[in-house]
Amino acid sequence: MSSELVQVTDLERNYKRGKFKIAALNAIDLTVKKGEIVGIVGPSGSGKTTLLNVIGGLGKPTGGHIAVDGEDLSELADKDLTHFRLHKVGFIFQFYNLISTLSAIENVEVPMTLAGVPKPEREKRARELLAIVGMEQRMNHLPSQLSGGEQQRVAVARALANRPPIILGDEPTGDLDSKSAKKLMELIRNLRKDTKTTFILVTHDPIVVEGCDRVYSIRDGKITKEFTQTDINHFKMSQGKDSLEELLV
Ligand SMILES: Nc1ncnc2c1ncn2[C@@H]1O[C@H](COP(=O)(O)OP(=O)(O)OP(=O)(O)O)[C@@H](O)[C@H]1O
Ligand SMILES: [Mg+2]
């Protein structure tokens, strides 16, 4: 098998709005290797969330191909797509999306419950995951009793629950102060090192960009630039001089 975990070829995603067709994604080609941390940047409305959702099996492409971990998503039947979403991808969102009536540990158990993992096993794994993200002391707290950074670490533990090879983040630091954002990026880099999990992170945040191995810039549904590690290092060195907007968009 090739080392490419995600292969997107000539991807197109249209939305219909009344009589009009909106081309949210247009001729997108990209690849992500196992264990990479890849960023996606671009202005509002450029198609970042649409792209992430298509990779995560939440929206079907209207053209082109997308393969994740050897599965061609356009060929999967609905029931296989449900299995794909449960086992192949984990999601983290800007506003954490934890269930407010469930404790931290219960939130982490949710994907395992859906996958049919028996209670003792899912409790054990949820505890282990909360320890990995540094939240084991707070496992019985409700989301409202946790800070934003703490809630996002619980959301990362939840995303890891069924051991997906890939985690997709839509503005994961968008609601965090810079200290919590740095801590989250550190956690993501450690997870990549320890578990070889692959991350694709949509972001506007320089802290996230600095922690990526590669970054794609998209505009009007098309990839306009690809930034390598060298470009990202240059960006790091020039902090304060080059703004993210000047450099990436
Ligand atoms: N469900 C939908 N129905 C119709 N049009 C949509 C839908 N979702 C997104 N769009 C349109 O597709 C385009 C891309 O939207 P998308 O949400 O992917 O952008 P984005 O880059 O994530 O923006 P932001 O940075 O504001 O989150 C926009 O023009 C948007 O209006
Ligand atoms: Mg978006």
In angstroms, the CA 192 to CA 186 distance is 10
Ligand 1 in contact with 115 (CB < 6 A)? no
Give the residue-averaged pLDDT of 89-110: 97
In angstroms, the CA 169 to CA 202 distance is 6
Quote the pLDDT of residue 156. 97
Expressed in angstroms and rounded, the spacing between residue 247 Cα and the centre of ligand 2 is 20
Expressed in angstroms and rounded, the spacing between residue 52 Cα and the centre of ligand 2 is 9
pLDDT band at 176 (very low <50, low <70, confident <90, very high): very high
Quote the pLDDT of residue 174. 94
Residue 105 lies in a domain: yes
Mean of per-residue pLDDT scores for the chain: 93
pLDDT band at 64 (very low <50, low <70, confident <90, very high): very high
Q: What's the residue count for the chain?
A: 249
Residue 130 lies in a domain: yes
pLDDT band at 238 (very low <50, low <70, confident <90, very high): confident
Range of the domain at 146: 97-163
- Give, as one character, the DSSP assignment of residue 96: -
Expressed in angstroms and rounded, the spacing between residue 24 Cα and the centre of ligand 1 is 7
Query: pLDDT (tens digit, 9 = 90+) per residue, 123-173?
Result: 999 999 999 999 999 999 999 999 999 999 999 999 999 999 999 999 999
Expressed in angstroms and rounded, the spacing between residue 51 Cα and the centre of ligand 1 is 10
Interstrand relation of 222-227 and 214-219 (parallel, antiparallel or unpaired): antiparallel
Residue 114 lies in a domain: yes
- Model confidence, pTM: 0.95
Atom of ligand 1 nearest to the CA of 202: 22
The residue whose C-alpha atom lies closest to atom 6 belonging to ligand 1 is 15
pLDDT for 1 beyond 60? no
24: which residues sit within 8 A by CB, 6+ positions away? 13, 14, 15, 47, 50, 221
The residue whose C-alpha atom lies closest to atom 4 belonging to ligand 1 is 15
CB 185 within 8 A of CB 37: no
Residue 185 lies in a domain: no
CB 46 within 8 A of CB 204: no
Ligand 1 in contact with 50 (CB < 6 A)? yes
pLDDT band at 234 (very low <50, low <70, confident <90, very high): confident
Residue 133 lies in a domain: yes
User: Which of 7-11, 53-57, 145-149, 243-247 has the lowest average pLDDT?
Assistant: 243-247
Quote the pLDDT of residue 121. 98
CB 245 within 8 A of CB 217: no
Quote the pLDDT of residue 2. 60
User: Which of 2-6, 18-22, 158-162, 163-167 has the lowest average pLDDT?
Assistant: 2-6
Q: How many domains is the chain built from? A: 1
pLDDT band at 59 (very low <50, low <70, confident <90, very high): confident
Q: Write the secondary structure of 143-206 as one string of H (helix), E (strand) and C (coil).
A: HHHCCHHHHHHHHHHHHHCCCCCEEEEECCCCCCCHHHHHHHHHHHHHHHHHHCCEEEEECCCH
Residue 180 lies in a domain: no
Residue 112 lies in a domain: yes
Residue 228 lies in a domain: no
